[in-house]
Structure formats: C-alpha cells, structure tokens
Structure 1
C-alpha cells in the first residue's frame, strides 16, 4: 500500500491552475494528440503563459514550436509530455532541471521510459514497464514535483480554463476522476445533452504518483464542484481512499463511484466459504456504504443521479426530513392513468413512497382538473394539459408547495406540444419557466419524465436545473439513489490498523491451529481433543463425553467430503464413523469434539479476508452448509468495535431470526458481536493469514459458540 500523505488544494494548484504550461510533443496535425493538447492549452493563454515544444519546429494558431525546454523564454510550472516512450524520461529530467513542478505524461509504454537501473532488461515486460514508471515517479517526487499518469488522457479544469486533454469537455458542476478516458468522454456527452458538464476532469492513468484519493481530495476543496464522480479500477491504498470518501460526505460533496465487477471468488471458493462470499465488488460496496458514497453501475445511471442530486441541492440530508426517517415521499402527476400508475409502480419498486394526498391538497389540485380527473396520488390530468397547458405548472406548483412530498414527478407529454404544433413553442417554454419558478419557491425537487427529446421547453427546464428523463425508470433510479444518500448517517471510515502484529506467526490454517488462535482471543469452542487413531478417538471420547462430533482435519469443506459425523452417541457409533471417514477422506488427523446443541440457536458464518487494496475485510452472514446458497452477508473493514459488529448482525436479511422470530427468544447479540470482534482482531494482528473463517458460529440466547474454523495462509 502507498504511504499516506496529506493533499491540500495548493499542493495540486500547478496541476489545475498553473501560471505557465508547456506542451512537449505539440503538433499542427489535428489527427495527433499533440494537436489537441496544444490547441486546448492555447485556449487558456489569456490566463497563463502557454509554450509549445517540437524539435522539428512548426506553428499553431500563430504560436511557434520551440525545439526544446531549454529554449523556452519562461520556465513552465506544468509540462505536458506527449512524446515517444524513449524520450519521456529525458523530457522529464530536463523539465525538472528548469524548475517544473508538475508533469502530465500522456505517453504509455512505460518499459520504454528506461530507469537507468536495468529495468528494461526484466524478464517480464509488464514488470519492466511498472519498474520504469515507478522510476519516473521517483525521479519526479524526489524533486518535490508531482506526476499525473503516465498513460493518461490529461486534465481539464473548466473554472481555470485549463484544457490539457483530447476531446470536448462541457462546463458544469460535476468533477470527474477516471481511469478510463473514453468513459469520461461518454459521461461528458451525456451531461452535455442534459445541460450539465464538468468542473474538473482528471484522467488518472497508471497512478504512479497522483492517485484517485489525491484527485478526489482536490475536488472536495473545489467550490465549483458540487457532485463528484469517479471511475476507479485500481484502488491502491483502499483505506486511504475510504477516508477520502468519508471526508467528501462530511463536506456535503456526494461521490458517485463506478468500478469494474471483476471477482476472484470462483478461484477462492475451494479454499473457504469466505472467499466465495466476499467478492472484490462486494468489498467496494461495503466501503461506499460506510463512507457515504454511492456505488453505481453505468455511466448513464451516474449522470441520471448527478442531475437529480444537483436539482436537490447536491447535499446529503438535503431532501428535507421524512417522518420516522423513512423513504422519500413522491407525488406523481401523469397525462394518463396508465403513465401515472406505471410511474408509481417504478418509484415504489425503487424503495420510494407514493403516499395518498391530504383532502386539502386533493382539493387544490382538483380545481384544475376536468370531471373524472384523479386527485389522489398519482394525479391523473385527464386532458387538463391539453385544455390549458398552464395547468401543468399550476398542478405541479400545488403539489410542491403542499409540502406533503419531498419530490414531484411529472410524467407524460409535457415538452412535446411544440413538436406537433410549433405555434405552442413559446407558451410551452413559458410554462417550463413557471415550473422552474415553482421549484425555487417551494425548495422541493421536480423531476420531468417526457416522451419528447431536445425541444425548446425541455431546454428551458434544463437551463433551470430541472432534471429531464426519457424513461421513467431513469427518474425512479435517480430519486432512489438521492434518497439513499439523504438517509446516509455519519460516515464510518475504517479503524486504523495496529502498527505491530502478534509476536508469533500461525504455522498453518488447520482447525486445531486456528481454534487455538481464536481461543486466545476469547472465542468459545466446545471441548475437543485431536487424535490420529480410532483407539485414541475412543479414549478421547470418554473424557469429552457423548454425544459428540467427529471431524476429519485438513479439509476446507468437510461436510461435502464426508468429513463430519454428528450426534455420535456411543463408542460403537464412533468407531463406525471413524472407519467410514478414513475411507472417504484419507485424513490422518481427527477432532473428537463435544456436541453443542443449544436451543434456539442460529448458524452464522463469520470470516475475514485480506483484500489487496482495502486490507482485512470482515464478513458475517447466515452460515452452515447453506452459506453460499443464501448469500445473506454483510461486510465491513476490520477491526470492528462491538457496536459496529452489532450493526452488521442487524443488517442481515435474516436478522429477525436473531431478534426473536415468531416468539422464539432473542439470540445473545452482544456475545455474537464479541465473537466477531475477536475474529476480526485475530485476523488483523496476523497478516500471514489471507483468510480466517468460523462456520458455523452458533448464536443462541445464552451466548455464542464456534463449531468449526479454518484459515488460509497468505
């Protein structure tokens, strides 16, 4: 993991608002990257000094290309490098010698950079490239400068008129950090169609110095950024990033995160249940939940949610209080009963409430409806819009000002009148302005779903910050995500990991070893002895007492392999089970363990997996042999506090089984939470274990007892 460093706005000023920029590899050919970088830089030359470098000479927009950095009349603060790989290191070294403080390296192909240390001779080309890139970053940071990239698309700050990238980036209020350049262009186009755009864009590239957390930190402090979007594949120091996400939430800057869903679960499943149940994406989802960020699935969803957040004030908790802290209440106005009903269904399916309207509000709305118009929720216009297009604004205004709903959805035909009758364009635009005025007056959110596209009235709505969606499911998804953010409590950034670790290392992940380890942390197991022969098993059984359990050691999935025999009531049964088990498994070591059968017990699975980016991640779920089938699990970064462990238990879908289902006594949640804390602490303090698992953990009214445990060495 990378070393923690504090990033201030001033530390990255030269990235976003340098006093001088030089583009090395500038070109006059529009087919080349150097052209777009140079022309973008020149667009801000009234604000800063812009110098262009190409050893072959040339000119762009009246600015001559100079042969090298040494020939520049002004030493640049920020240098953009777009030259072939063998030239990159030399350009950077020359830039450092003249005092440059920031480098944006567009060039990919790090193995060609060279390090002066023989990295190019590495047997693996990927290792060679990584070594060369790390060497370049070390060279830059050793001089107190910063590096963006390499292999990035550049950087854009529309507020400082800095455009050092290929492509068009519309101005707006969304700050984007991305490891994919094309995805950034897609998001930009979607935002532009919706009347929005970027405050800043940072293409991370290979993150050899400036990483996602650095870029996100800069957006938290950036006044022009109201919503933060990020696409991250490589989380590097995930715990540091989690703290940054929590800081963004605390600063009222919503973070919308996209990531890939690559999972190693299938490869880990043979090692443990935990590995099968804790995918990479599940970890990211848990981090987002605890840090107050929203994990989304697509670029379109990200843009839809961003528009809704901007309309709602883009602030966690800004949607207004909902009685009892429940889901947001939505009022629906539809041109037809069908559209209104489908909208209500979509909103309800997304977890939102479509409540009945009070008699007073129904009367206010009904004053504008023809006979037969529906005054409930949804409101059925029943032709009221066709008879007078102004009724759209009057009815929406009544619902917004009534204060009975947190947001109002207008679904149907509005925005399309001018398409069929151009003479109505001016009036429809006037109504759009009236709708926007009602939003401002009420302080509530209005969302418009329409069958129209890109008409003058819709342009007016977008200009005034009213979100417009082509499909009702887009509106429902955006409102539901906004509501989730509104209901997010104080973020829970990860607890710090201990500086030291336990003095002894765990030699293996077998049951006997792991059981002893967890007992030392306070976890409770049944009485047991470990044996190799049937005679030793019979002797141990006399001391342990019947009924008992016989387990074969060295198996990750004992039950499936025939390595567990339960409820053995006497020595004869024990001997028969031992013979069958030895034949089925070939094991040479066995556990003879007292049978634990506490009444009203619930089987849980608890585990910790060491994630490459986020470190130890704790998991708890409904356990036993159906753990993977039910997949009812929750995750959090370890270590855990007792309160946090209890929250995880209550977050399970099957949590009612723990709190007293159908009159059964409640399980001992404090004992269960204590067992989770012990497991998490053991895993944190023993980094030699890649995974640590207890399955099942029996939780019952009298306490919690672990029946099996397993570890996987890193």
Structure 2
C-alpha cells in the first residue's frame, strides 16, 4: 500500500499542538506550518490557543477539510479516541508520537482499526516523519536537507546522525521513526526510500527485524535499484543462553545472521553512527553521478555501472535465470594455480600527500582495509613528476615535497594527473589542503579556486576524489563539498568509507529463499538416533551403526559391523568432552573395556556401535542450522570437529540452500584451500559436500520444532561426504 499520505499529504492535522517550545506539540505544529505553502495545515488542541497566527481547533470534527494525515501527540488514554475521530473525518494516515495504549495488545488493536479502514499507522511511540523534498517536518529537532534516507527505531540516534551529516555538508532526504512498528515497519519504510528519486543512500537502524526474510528481499531490491543500504543494529546474541546445547548455538549469533543477510543482499552492516555517516557521505558523492564506485575489476567494466543521463546510477544487471526459471547462483570464486580461491581484486587507490609521513600513513590505512595502493604506470608518473620539485620521479604515495606551498594550483594539477591516469580507481588527497587560508586569510580566494579545480577534475575524470585534511569548516572545504567531494578529518575515516564503498561495488546479491517448506511430521527427540534417521531420509550418508543398551549387545553388533569401530554414548550434546566417544576400537576386549568405562563416566543407558569411517585426505567440517526468530532457518558451515568453536571459521546463509549456494559457502571459508587441494593433496568432493549441506538445510527447514540441528563432524573427502555425528535441540 502506498505511503504517499505519509511523506507528501495534501493536508495535515496535528492533534496536541502547543505554543510552548518546551513541548512536543510545539515542534510538530511548527514543523507542519513550515510546509503550509504546499499543504493545508490544521492545529488541534481542545484548550484552544494559536501558533504563528493559526488558531487551535477543539477537535478533528471541527476541521473544514479532510486531514489526509493526522499526527497524534496526546496522552496515551486519548489516542484511540483521536484515531476514531480521524477515521470518521476521512484521514488515511496516522503518525502516533505517544504510545498507543496501555500495552502491546492495545497498540495492535489500534493498528488493526486503522488498517481495516484502508489506512496506515506509523508508530506508536515514534518521533515522527520528515521529507525534506516535500517540506514535511513532523518531528522534534533539526533535520538538514540532503540525499540520505534514514529509517530508525531510535530517535536520538537519528538526531546524532543528522548532526554528523550536517557537519559533513550532507543531510536527509527522508527520515522515518519506526517506533513500535505496529503497522508500518522497516521493510515498508525502506521500500519507500528505494523508490524515492531524491534518496541516493539508504540508512537504517533496526532493533526488531520482524519478518526478516521480507526485509532481506527489500535489501536485495535496494542493491538491484542501485541504492546502497547502510545498516546499524544491536549486537545481542539470541544464542548466548543456548551455547552449551550445540556448537551451532555458539557460532550462529543473532549478529552473525544479520551480517550474513547483509553480505548476501549487498547491504553493509556498520558499527557506529560515525561510520555510517562517513560511508554515506562518500556514497552520496558516487550516487551524485560525478564518479563511479572504486572498481575492483580488471579489464572489464566497473563493478557498478556509470552514471546515466540524469545523474543517477544505472541499475545493476538482472541476475541470470536458469532453465527452471530460478535465479542462477553467482559464479564460483576464481581458483589460483595452486588450487586456492583467489582474493577479490582490491580497488586501486592513488595517494597524494603534503609529506612522506602523511602519504605513507594513508597508504597503510588503505591497505589495512583491503584496498590496493599500486605502483603508478609510467605515463602517470611522468605527468605527476612534471609538477614536483626538481621534476624527479614519483611513487605511490606521491610526496608533494613542498609543491603545494610553492604554488597552490599544483594540488589541482597533480591530483588531475592522478585522476586522469589509467591505473587507479580513486584518488586520496591527504594533508594540509583547505587550511592555508586559516593561517593566511589572503589565500582564501586562491584556495577556493583550487578547490573548484579539484571538484571539476574529479567530475571530468569520472573517478572518485576523497580529501583528508587537518582543516575544519574552511571556505575551501565548503567548495569541495558543494562539488560532491567527500572531506574527512581523519585518514582512517576516509579509508573505512572507501573500503565500504568497494564492498557495495563488488557485492553480488543472492536471491533470498522465497519461503520455508511446510512443516513435516515432528521428530520425537533431538538425539543422535532420531536425527540420524531424519537426515538419512533426506539423503545424508552415515556409517553403518547399531544401537544397543548392554555390553553383550555391543559385542554382537560389532561382529556384524566389523572392526575397527567407534562406540558412542547417546543423550550427550558434547560427547567427546564428556568422555562419551571411543574411536578405533580393534577387538571385543577393547570394546567391553570402553563400554564399561563409558557407562561409569557418562551414566548413559544407550550406545551406538558404529563403523569407523576412514578416508585419506579428508577434512572435518561442522554443518548446522539454527532457527532465528526473525529470519527463520539459517544454515552454517565451517571447519569442524572439536576445534569448531576455537577456529570459528564459518559461513552462514538463509536456508534452504541450492547446491550452487552451498558450494559458494564452502569456498568462502578462510580454510577453503584445505578443500580445494592444499600442498598437492587431492581436492575433496565439493559437490558431495554441497549436497550434504543442502540435505541438512532442507531437513531443518521442514522441522521448525528443531531450533538447532547439527552435524559435527561432517567428513568430506575426495570420494564423497559422510556424517559422523548429529544432534538436534527441540523447542
């Protein structure tokens, strides 16, 4: 349902308006009146009064025209009455600042009342809504105009982001305070920002993801539309209380799930408001159409398309579609000659600084964040050297060595040579530029003229220019910002923003699973015997085994299974740590001794006598699925065995999985070279490993009663994959 009535209503009524600047009603009313050249504004307060010559009316029934949006800023017990009056008056949208009643149930009933009449509700318990492109300011505080659209569950965080944006010469296109999300939620608001032409970068602070899969589809749609999404969220782990139940519970935290969803949809998960603003400022410069993203491509088109005629970025290519009509998995990572996955090609950055020290530190900061500071090609070196003292050679970083002090225009000349050179994707100017006029006001005009030249050089080259300077809020920096050149006070800010921009450029979003399969018949318990049977029914291979309760039964089973074998105690989550596993048993005497010892140590009443799986050149993996309250089943694979949590080398994705997606997860592990053939060893059967992950993910998706399902270890080898242990955790 359209949110036009939220962002650009033909008329607004503020209920609870006030003439007292200390009250919310004043700010809402004053903000509404600021847009009265575009829309009709009604102010309502049963006690009477006026603001800016506009009288307060006693109630919504007194309005001469229909209020398309009603802003409710009255005590909670009065909210429902106001909403009922608004619906009777024909209102289509309600922004509820205060809480919607005595608790969640009353708020849900309020939302149901509004939506049953075809309306929408923002909040309750929200800070309001702002659209600087339609002169709509229905909130408390100052919201500078700009190109960043923000969706937030925190009002104060939004104010902090706004102030940081203003200091950087940027601001908001739209701001939506979600509040308790009883109707309009994060996905709704983000969808509206994606479709909003004036919003170049989308930012969000979300605590409650609600329908996480729907939100994931929205994030992927934003990337397809060329709208970068920057996300902040909390780091609390839903799994912390269950960490002892399985390795999966310890490794798949709520934060890790969000991180994986962002990676797979092209969004960027950030750590702080400052980091969000730094990245947004750089990305708005890119989206302005004055530069392309820092690439990462070699000998092919840039990772993000160049600007089209109206200054917006063209949408990325649509995903490839298979013969079955489903999105094709992205191409697998390139493999080097030694069988290891090739690292992504890093964007190449040229650095020019006022001193060798600043340039070198800038290069280190960029390299530490995965960016490349390459040797410049011969033509670029010659073009730069022409303006350096002594016309000597130059490297990257370029040391101005006094060229700027000798002639301020050398900043523009040298930077232009770097921007026009063919071997880099972006240029960082670091040091003193922007501060000359502080010490010598007579240089203000010249420094501003050089800033104009820098901005024009970046525009004509179609490459990104980033400036790090020790200056702050000088006229030259204002000129740079007006030209869309990002300016940073610390080099680590610039480097981090460039690294995040590069991530958005290289992102190849996966289509999130559309739905989870319908639940199958629940399993009886999460023990090895039950889970093994479940996973075998989905095609996962296990060694031959029999389940026994006595030593004599164990000996009989061993004669049928054959030696060597393994003995496992049932009913233990961490069998090895509890002394519930004995491997490599070679005869009946050793078997009976292990059985007696295990019974005394663990107290178990049931045991598995299992064939030993011995495969040369095998690798132990852990594979698991955890049910996330917002995102549903989440699949995980990593290096396994008893060191799974120690290594913490894992990859996550929403389940179920396709074989291509499962293979991608395997190759994304830090230790993936062990799978592809390390130091001459044969590669494991990646297709079999991927099929095993798919079987596990499918089984977990069909059994929501299992909030965790794990195979550890999953032994993968050149001839296939076999599960050596499995465990589930019931709701």
- TM-score range (shorter-chain normalised) is over 0.9
Shift of 1:493: 2.6
CA contact (8 A) 2:240 2:253 kept: no
CA contact (8 A) 2:293 2:502 kept: no
Alignment partner of 2:492 out of 473, 498, 518 = 473
Alignment partner of 2:211 out of 237, 249, 260 = 237
In structure 2, the partner of 1:77 is 68
Q: Distance in 2 between matches of 1:326 and 1:309?
A: 20
Q: Distance in 1 between matches of 2:446 and 2:506?
A: 39
- 3-state secondary structure, aligned to 2:231: strand
| 2:513 is the alignment partner of 1:495 | yes
Q: Distance in 1 between matches of 2:209 and 2:117?
A: 26
Cα gap change, 1:36 to 1:107, in 2 (>3 Å): same
How many residues in Structure 1 have an aligned counterpart in Structure 2? 686
Cα gap change, 1:499 to 1:704, in 2 (>3 Å): closer
Shift of 1:307: 1.2
Shift of 1:371: 2.7
Shift of 1:318: 4.1
- 3-state secondary structure, aligned to 1:361: helix
| 2:121 is the alignment partner of 1:147 | yes
Cα gap change, 1:498 to 1:257, in 2 (>3 Å): closer
| 2:82 is the alignment partner of 1:91 | yes
Q: Distance in 1 between matches of 2:519 and 2:432?
A: 65
- 3-state secondary structure, aligned to 2:143: coil
Alignment partner of 2:561 out of 537, 540, 544 = 544
Shift of 1:577: 0.8
In structure 1, the partner of 2:298 is 323
CA contact (8 A) 1:446 1:467 kept: yes
Cα gap change, 1:57 to 1:213, in 2 (>3 Å): same
- CA shift digits 1:66-100 (9 cap, x unpaired): 11111111120100000001000111011111111
Q: Distance in 2 between matches of 1:464 and 1:631?
A: 45
CA contact (8 A) 1:317 1:486 kept: no
| 2:46 is the alignment partner of 1:58 | no
Q: Distance in 1 between matches of 2:55 and 2:288?
A: 45
Shift of 1:333: 0.2
Alignment partner of 1:191 out of 165, 173, 178 = 165
Cα gap change, 1:682 to 1:344, in 2 (>3 Å): same
Shift of 1:313: 2.9
Alignment partner of 1:676 out of 678, 689, 693 = 693
- CA shift digits 1:254-306 (9 cap, x unpaired): 11111111113331111111000001011001101111111111111111111
Gaps of 5+ in 2: 300-343
In structure 2, the partner of 1:36 is 27
Q: Distance in 2 between matches of 1:624 and 1:338?
A: 47
Alignment partner of 1:17 out of 8, 17, 22 = 8
Shift of 1:314: 6.5
Shift of 1:458: 0.6
In structure 2, the partner of 1:118 is none
Cα gap change, 1:51 to 1:373, in 2 (>3 Å): farther
Alignment partner of 2:287 out of 303, 313, 328 = 313
Q: Distance in 2 between matches of 1:299 and 1:596?
A: 51
| 2:524 is the alignment partner of 1:507 | yes
Q: Distance in 2 between matches of 1:317 and 1:427?
A: 28
**TM-score, structure 2 as length reference:** 0.93
CA contact (8 A) 1:254 1:314 kept: no
Counting only pairs closer than 5 Å after superposition, residues 129-528 of structure 1 correspond to structure 2 as 129-313=103-287, 318-320=293-295, 322-323=297-298, 326-371=345-390, 375-489=394-508, 491-498=509-516, 500-502=518-520, 504-528=521-545
CA contact (8 A) 2:295 2:502 kept: no
CA contact (8 A) 1:374 1:382 kept: no
- 3-state secondary structure, aligned to 1:313: helix
- CA shift digits 1:154-188 (9 cap, x unpaired): 00000000000000000001100000111111111
CA contact (8 A) 1:308 1:478 kept: yes
Cα gap change, 1:713 to 1:640, in 2 (>3 Å): same
In structure 1, the partner of 2:36 is 45
- CA shift digits 1:421-449 (9 cap, x unpaired): 11111111110001001011101110000
- CA shift digits 1:307-364 (9 cap, x unpaired): 1112223699744563167111100001000000010111011101101011221111
> Which moved further from structure 2: 66-75 or 35-44?
66-75
**TM-score, structure 1 as length reference:** 0.95
CA contact (8 A) 2:95 2:124 kept: yes
Shift of 1:405: 1.1
Alignment partner of 1:598 out of 600, 615, 620 = 615
In structure 2, the partner of 1:121 is none
Q: Distance in 1 between matches of 2:617 and 2:517?
A: 41
Q: Distance in 1 between matches of 2:562 and 2:392?
A: 77
Q: Distance in 2 between matches of 1:474 and 1:265?
A: 33
Q: Distance in 1 between matches of 2:516 and 2:158?
A: 38
Q: Distance in 2 between matches of 1:664 and 1:358?
A: 39
- 3-state secondary structure, aligned to 1:312: helix
Alignment partner of 1:694 out of 694, 706, 711 = 711
> CA RMSD for the aligned pairs?
1.2
Shift of 1:494: 1.5
Q: Distance in 2 between matches of 1:300 and 1:333?
A: 25
Q: Distance in 2 between matches of 1:369 and 1:464?
A: 26
CA contact (8 A) 2:517 2:701 kept: no
Q: Distance in 2 between matches of 1:102 and 1:310?
A: 30
Q: Distance in 1 between matches of 2:528 and 2:535?
A: 10
CA contact (8 A) 2:220 2:266 kept: yes
Q: Distance in 2 between matches of 1:498 and 1:419?
A: 62
Q: Distance in 1 between matches of 2:292 and 2:648?
A: 31
Q: Distance in 1 between matches of 2:515 and 2:678?
A: 37
CA contact (8 A) 1:253 1:314 kept: no
Q: Distance in 1 between matches of 2:288 and 2:590?
A: 67
Q: Distance in 2 between matches of 1:527 and 1:321?
A: 49
- CA shift digits 1:440-466 (9 cap, x unpaired): 110111000001111111111111110
In structure 2, the partner of 1:122 is none
